[in-house]
Amino acid sequence: MLRSRPQQGTPYAEKAHFTRVFKKNTGQTPTEFREEMRRLVA
């Protein structure tokens, strides 16, 4: 995988690509996942 922006901490060069891969594997967008985790922890 290409790491074009190492300071961002993700091996994905494009945010859109990361979002597609994340949603394919989890069934949620990163934002949906983050919001659900906040609700569960609160």
- Reported as a single tens digit per residue, the pLDDT across 1-42 is 555 555 566 676 788 888 999 999 999 999 999 999 999 998
Helix residue ranges per DSSP H, the chain: 15-26, 30-41
Residue 6 within a domain: no
Domain count along the chain? 1
Residue 3 within a domain: no
Residue 5 within a domain: no
Instruction: Tell me the CA distances in angstroms from 20 to 4, 32, 37, 38, one per residue in order.
Output: 18, 13, 19, 22
Nearest to 21 by CA among 33, 36, 5: 33
The pTM is what?
Answer: 0.63
Range of the domain at 26: 12-41
Residue 23 within a domain: yes
Residue 20 within a domain: yes
Residue 22 within a domain: yes
> What tokens were used for 4?
């074009």
